[in-house]
Chains A and B, each alone.
Chain A
């Protein structure tokens, strides 16, 4: 097990106070190891737990929320989705939907939607989801086993499955390792987070599309089954730099964003798009991603270049009580981000072992890098308020490094082939909100890690986070945009 002693303190020491984190008090005898959260009405959420319970929580964000144990006996449910009056849930062995038909907050019926995938009885065979794509089909992601398989090998482990409304299942994407988060974008595109380990050199956020192979060879034998929509990738190269894999495996999917180990958490999990239109702060349209090891929420800004989603990740919020599994929006008088936590089996930083917290925006924007986008010659940073030109310094005060990872069988990959691209020029926008960086030596397939100087804005506030990590997969030409 890899467990370096590096802490996150350096990058996270300047957390903004623009958001307020509060507990959701939990009854003393409840063990809320959160696996899924769904909004079920004003100030009301449903939460499923790793112990197989489903709780309805009403008046969830006040001092005394009302908890009702709606059901128990679900098998490690790790995702909830509300569709009409049904709650969909991914259990280890099946996608189910359940509902309370008489309004007592207790589930009366549970229907099996699909149970066509297999489990071998290994603890690591988690199922996550579901989420719905633009066509209304359900997607779930299936962890690969880790160790003994007491009931025999199972197909479809390490896959993303697509299930239509009739329960017909197809294997949509292969090569996943520990896909602990799955979410649909506002356009109905499906994304997932994966955890660093063997055949997954660094934790990542990736776009899931039919036919993709994401690198882990565990489940590739299932490619030969009739329900597979993925071509068999053949022998997966062991020890190849990631940018070269696409030359060997045509349908190999590069990530949208890598989360460099220990710089941006260790184990990304649940995520949400900021769909609040700015009511939750200045990051509308971006993605918030929790981390199961570090009690933090990270931030991702995505753009589509030549058909590939890619972008930058930034530190965002720290100071939660426990490693985070799930994020969800609640319906409340003001936008409320519900944060579900558990550290079971995966020791996390923080002071608690499980529970729920809530985050609200104070109304005052922090001074942050809002976006980092790629240009044909470098990157454009956009800030949340106008930069004080005095604090910019010269191009040599800004630094960048770039590196990539190996696709290989050992646990995690070092940052490889690292160089320091030269920032040659800074061009400040006329309103002070943007800075264009001209960079020598952009490389496709590499993380571009940026360290900016100690900037202040025109009101004299210091920049909250000075680092950003852009995963450059496609470099735009002058014609292609952005």
Chain B
């Protein structure tokens, strides 16, 4: 995509600096802008620089052209090579042909285009049909995710001449593949979003004749022989196509074994919340603008399912999928929303079926060999390759010899030297750099390096840091939210001091796509390797010594903290979610990841006076008044109360949910609160006879009743029973939580007659279970002559609860060589007495008995011998027991 070439025009750059709050002051000095222009102009691609300079300036990879012939129309390439500065916006491709006679320039351009066409080309594209409403959906995505922040002035006429819809979609899905500099970052689009956005961007390609409105929906008929699910028809060709006035069976009444895919647009009369009811026999699904709205899957008699979606007034893309196997058939779509008080069939007048034809730019032709060869020589000789091809060394004077006012920086750029189209201000900034180029040999201080990086990636388009940047007054209102959280729910966060607020690892996680702000519509772009090292720079620039020290953890404090966040405390649950359980009110940040994200010193200061740190925040100030709100809790001491909350938050994924939050949980989510929950299901990783046991400490296990063994351990959420309890169900379930681990395969207890003997893997025989007073099942298994009873309990620990496995063994006779196999790994190390690290992934703490590590080939096992003893002085029965704790 030529449009998103790496370089940032100085005019725009200067416009975006200092626009925060209109105070006009900026800390970005002229030097910084000069260095920024050095980086963006990629001077060091041609002018070889020392490693120190490269580290300071940053080397930027111009767009990779190895598939450019496939994605760009030859006419657009030619125009761009001839007149790069005619492209508006932030493009900074230099003109390399200026000053030559027109005939020569055009010949160069033609030859280079011929050459570039051999890279994956020539460009070939046929007209494509786009469903109505798709482009409108694309416009909404553009607005919602914040494309406008960088692309203020999109030249859509030029864009329409550059590429095909398909190429635009692939580019939007993964811009970093061809543009690794991050100048056009990835927006994390899914394929349907990319399709819609591409249709919006290339809307000038629409053929006017195809825009004429046609009523109804376009229906593809597919032949099927089994139940289908969404996606199953992707590679199926329709056996028939017709237009239906509305959602329904139409002419297929009485037929069997078919599926209908209905496509078109939906005219929504008023903006607001719309409910849809889809009734069908057999299954059906509804998507609007690519979002799933109703799923009424499976083979069934007529049944209705509802779904809800916020829709703006106007045209939306709609798709209905329906299938019918045997027997009767029925399909109806009803809606309810602004102006439609009760469910009514969506009327025929609401549907449009015209498909819009997108006419791509003219295809290219294979060039002649001589021209291609000339073009390739010109591509290298003129210097294009120095920026566009990795590893091609620069051919111009070394960077250290550059001086102000020369070459590229002359007001009249000499022939044969790249012309960047710098204006006077840019030249002045650059001249200031080249007045003393040796300064660039020393590294930038961290704060300046952060500023340099943020200028380069245009972070300032959205974020404020230290008074610089942020959206302009015109763009600010375009940032929207679906929650009433003020600017915090709408605008990307202020990054002043962010390197002290957030752990470095979390900043990297954010760069990788992590997000904790559900209300925010605008998306944080993904810059790929272009942000490597930035988190560390932020830390160096901002971190306050000592702010990384946590208050001491105690279970008692954690319990106090638990009370303080709940309905009887500060009611944090009003705005904050916990472990994925939505808050009672507005969708604020989920606090279960606090300790993973936030540095403890910052947390303490923020809690003490949130407004001081974040002016305008919706976060209440609990500790700024003289009278404590809870004088009886920890003697009313603010510091201790805050530390208690921190202790609670440091339970992380296994934090017990705050009081008052549970009622908001939907009815299929199983959340043990005061007692364990036992739940049977089909489970992945366990089998068709899984018995899951969930504990209030939010660490859980699943037992495989088929093979009589503990099969899974995990933390966080327990199970969502929807797959097992909703309708016909029968879904193979998974743990709803995180950090899932699997104990070693086979039975836990075995008899080894010889220490080299391989672990016996034959299953025992299930005997059932005993239930203790808490309702915790103790699973009983016969294993040879032994009867084994195993159960688990969860123990609260900082960083996440642990699971304690407790096993008891009974026998009618003495059996030597009974062992528990506690772990299997490739590297097991005893860290301290009784505490073992398994492949650095988890730890086993042997609480009763002595662990022993044995190696069998490349595998190591942690065994715990279980010595049998008489159960009483005169008893004929023998017993033994073992306890281990699993920490991970």
Could you pull out 26 A-B pairs where Cβ atoms are within 8 angstroms? A3-B327, A3-B330, A4-B328, A71-B678, A71-B771, A73-B678, A73-B777, A74-B680, A75-B681, A93-B705, A106-B771, A106-B775, A109-B768, A110-B768, A112-B766, A115-B689, A119-B689, A121-B682, A121-B730, A121-B732, A122-B730, A123-B730, A147-B227, A151-B688, A347-B300, A347-B303
In the complex, which residues of chain A have a beta carbon less than 8 angstroms from the beta carbon of B193? none
Query: Please, how many angstroms separate the alpha-carbon atoms of A44 and B853 in the complex?
Result: 55
The 0/1 profile, CB within 8 Å of A marked 1, for residues 302-342 of chain B is 11000000000000000000000111101000000000000
In the complex, which residues of chain B have a beta carbon less than 8 angstroms from the beta carbon of A96? 768
Does A2 lie within 8 Å of B770, measured CB to CB?
A: no
What 8 pairs across the A-B complex have the smallest Cβ distances?
A: A123-B730, A73-B678, A2-B327, A75-B680, A345-B728, A3-B301, A121-B688, A93-B689
The 0/1 profile, CB within 8 Å of A marked 1, for residues 692-710 of chain B is 1100000000000110000
Instruction: Give the one of B303, B766, B769 with max A CB within 10 A.
Output: B769
Does A108 lie within 8 Å of B771, measured CB to CB?
A: yes
From A51, A91, A345, A410, B326 is in contact (CB under 8 Å) with: A410
In the complex, which residues of chain B have a beta carbon less than 8 angstroms from the beta carbon of A250? none
In the complex, which residues of chain A have a beta carbon less than 8 angstroms from the beta carbon of B777? 73
In the complex, which residues of chain B have a beta carbon less than 8 angstroms from the beta carbon of A124? 728, 730
Query: Please, how many angstroms separate the alpha-carbon atoms of A52 and B678 in the complex?
Result: 9
Does A1 lie within 8 Å of B301, measured CB to CB?
A: yes
Q: Please provide the chain B residues from 144 to 192 with a CB less than 8 Å away from any CB of chain A in the complex.
A: none
The 0/1 profile, CB within 8 Å of B marked 1, for residues 71-92 of chain A is 1111110000000000000011
A223 within 8 A of B: no
A461 within 8 A of B: no
Cβ distance A171 to chain B, nearest Cβ, rounded Å:
19
Does A2 lie within 8 Å of B678, measured CB to CB?
A: no
Does B680 lie within 8 Å of A91, measured CB to CB?
A: yes
Residue of A nearest to B723 (CB): A123
Query: Please, how many angstroms separate the alpha-carbon atoms of A74 and B777 in the complex?
Result: 11
Cβ distance A127 to chain B, nearest Cβ, rounded Å:
12
B419 within 8 A of A: no
Query: Please, how many angstroms separate the alpha-carbon atoms of A106 and B769 in the complex?
Result: 14
Query: Please, how many angstroms separate the alpha-carbon atoms of A147 and B732 in the complex?
Result: 13
Cβ distance B872 to chain A, nearest Cβ, rounded Å:
22
**Secondary structure at chain A's binding surface: helix, strand, loop or mixed?**
loop
Instruction: Give the one of A51, A76, A123, A146 with max B CB within 10 A.
Output: A123
Does A52 lie within 8 Å of B300, measured CB to CB?
A: no
Query: Please, how many angstroms separate the alpha-carbon atoms of A333 and B730 in the complex?
Result: 41
Instruction: Give the one of A73, A96, A115, A146 with max B CB within 10 A.
Output: A73
Q: Please provide the chain B residues from 644 to 677 with a CB less than 8 Å away from any CB of chain A in the complex.
A: 677
Residue of A nearest to B227 (CB): A147
Query: Please, how many angstroms separate the alpha-carbon atoms of A376 and B478 in the complex?
Result: 89
- Which residues of A are in contact with B by a Cβ distance under 8 Å? 1-4, 50-52, 71-76, 91-94, 96, 106-112, 115, 119-124, 146-147, 150-151, 344-345, 347, 410-412
Does A92 lie within 8 Å of B688, measured CB to CB?
A: yes
Does A112 lie within 8 Å of B768, measured CB to CB?
A: yes
From B325, B677, B679, A1 is in contact (CB under 8 Å) with: B325
B729 within 8 A of A: yes
Cβ distance B745 to chain A, nearest Cβ, rounded Å:
16
B281 within 8 A of A: yes
From B325, B327, B725, B775, A51 is in contact (CB under 8 Å) with: B725
Cβ distance A40 to chain B, nearest Cβ, rounded Å:
18
In the complex, which residues of chain B have a beta carbon less than 8 angstroms from the beta carbon of A92? 680, 688-689
B767 within 8 A of A: yes
Residue of B nearest to A146 (CB): B299
Cβ distance B284 to chain A, nearest Cβ, rounded Å:
12
* Interface size range of chain B in the complex: 35 or more
Query: Please, how many angstroms separate the alpha-carbon atoms of A281 and B687 in the complex?
Result: 49
B691 within 8 A of A: yes
In the complex, which residues of chain B have a beta carbon less than 8 angstroms from the beta carbon of A73? 677-680, 691-693, 777
How many A-B pairs fall under 8 Å by CB? 120
Does A112 lie within 8 Å of B328, measured CB to CB?
A: no
In the complex, which residues of chain A have a beta carbon less than 8 angstroms from the beta carbon of B728? 123-124, 344-345
Does A1 lie within 8 Å of B299, measured CB to CB?
A: yes
In the complex, which residues of chain B have a beta carbon less than 8 angstroms from the beta carbon of A123? 728-730
Query: Please, how many angstroms separate the alpha-carbon atoms of A195 and B71 in the complex?
Result: 59
In the complex, which residues of chain B have a beta carbon less than 8 angstroms from the beta carbon of A75? 680-681, 689, 691, 705
B875 within 8 A of A: no
In the complex, which residues of chain A have a beta carbon less than 8 angstroms from the beta carbon of B681? 75
B625 within 8 A of A: no
Cβ distance A253 to chain B, nearest Cβ, rounded Å:
26
In the complex, which residues of chain A have a beta carbon less than 8 angstroms from the beta carbon of B775? 71-72, 106
Does B679 lie within 8 Å of A52, measured CB to CB?
A: yes
Does B682 lie within 8 Å of A72, measured CB to CB?
A: no
From B299, B688, B689, B771, A107 is in contact (CB under 8 Å) with: B771
Q: A1-B326, A73-B680, A150-B682 are in contact. Are A109 and B770 (CB under 8 A)?
A: yes
Residue of A nearest to B682 (CB): A121
Query: Please, how many angstroms separate the alpha-carbon atoms of A293 and B303 in the complex?
Result: 14
9 additional contacts, CB 8 Å, given A3-B328, A52-B679, A73-B693? Answer: A1-B325, A2-B326, A3-B301, A73-B691, A76-B680, A94-B705, A96-B768, A109-B769, A347-B303
The 0/1 profile, CB within 8 Å of A marked 1, for residues 743-766 of chain B is 000000000000000000000001
Query: Please, how many angstroms separate the alpha-carbon atoms of A192 and B398 in the complex?
Result: 93
Query: Please, how many angstroms separate the alpha-carbon atoms of A109 and B780 in the complex?
Result: 10
Q: A110-B771, A123-B730 are in contact. Are A411 and B326 (CB under 8 A)?
A: yes
B721 within 8 A of A: yes
Query: Please, how many angstroms separate the alpha-carbon atoms of A30 and B692 in the complex?
Result: 20
Cβ distance B746 to chain A, nearest Cβ, rounded Å:
18
Does B730 lie within 8 Å of A109, measured CB to CB?
A: no
Query: Please, how many angstroms separate the alpha-carbon atoms of A231 and B771 in the complex?
Result: 42
Does B706 lie within 8 Å of A93, measured CB to CB?
A: yes
Cβ distance B302 to chain A, nearest Cβ, rounded Å:
6
Instruction: Give the one of B299, B302, B688, B766 with max A CB within 10 A.
Output: B688
Query: Please, how many angstroms separate the alpha-carbon atoms of A250 and B158 in the complex?
Result: 81
In the complex, which residues of chain B have a beta carbon less than 8 angstroms from the beta carbon of A106? 771, 775
Cβ distance B63 to chain A, nearest Cβ, rounded Å:
46
Query: Please, how many angstroms separate the alpha-carbon atoms of A120 and B303 in the complex?
Result: 27
Q: A3-B302, A147-B227, A345-B728 are in contact. Are A120 and B688 (CB under 8 A)?
A: yes
Query: Please, how many angstroms separate the alpha-carbon atoms of A2 and B301 in the complex?
Result: 7
The 0/1 profile, CB within 8 Å of A marked 1, for residues 702-746 of chain B is 000110000000000000010001011110100000000000000
B861 within 8 A of A: no
Cβ distance A134 to chain B, nearest Cβ, rounded Å:
27
Query: Please, how many angstroms separate the alpha-carbon atoms of A410 and B681 in the complex?
Result: 31
Instruction: Give the one of B691, B768, B770 with max A CB within 10 A.
Output: B768
Residue of B nearest to A123 (CB): B730
Query: Please, how many angstroms separate the alpha-carbon atoms of A127 and B136 in the complex?
Result: 52
Residue of A nearest to B326 (CB): A411
Cβ distance A344 to chain B, nearest Cβ, rounded Å:
6
Q: A1-B281, A94-B766, A121-B682 are in contact. Are A411 and B327 (CB under 8 A)?
A: yes
Instruction: Give the one of A50, A51, A112, A410 with max B CB within 10 A.
Output: A112
Query: Please, how many angstroms separate the alpha-carbon atoms of A216 and B766 in the complex?
Result: 31
Query: Please, how many angstroms separate the alpha-carbon atoms of A91 and B769 in the complex?
Result: 14
In the complex, which residues of chain A have a beta carbon less than 8 angstroms from the beta carbon of B721? 51
Cβ distance B234 to chain A, nearest Cβ, rounded Å:
19
The 0/1 profile, CB within 8 Å of A marked 1, for residues 776-787 of chain B is 010000000000
Cβ distance B309 to chain A, nearest Cβ, rounded Å:
25
Cβ distance B118 to chain A, nearest Cβ, rounded Å:
49
Cβ distance B810 to chain A, nearest Cβ, rounded Å:
15
B282 within 8 A of A: yes
Residue of B nearest to A4 (CB): B328
In the complex, which residues of chain B have a beta carbon less than 8 angstroms from the beta carbon of A110? 768-771
From A4, A52, A112, B767 is in contact (CB under 8 Å) with: A112
Does B768 lie within 8 Å of A111, measured CB to CB?
A: yes
Does B766 lie within 8 Å of A115, measured CB to CB?
A: yes
In the complex, which residues of chain B have a beta carbon less than 8 angstroms from the beta carbon of A122? 730
In the complex, which residues of chain B have a beta carbon less than 8 angstroms from the beta carbon of A4? 328
Cβ distance B376 to chain A, nearest Cβ, rounded Å:
55
From B299, B688, B727, A119 is in contact (CB under 8 Å) with: B688
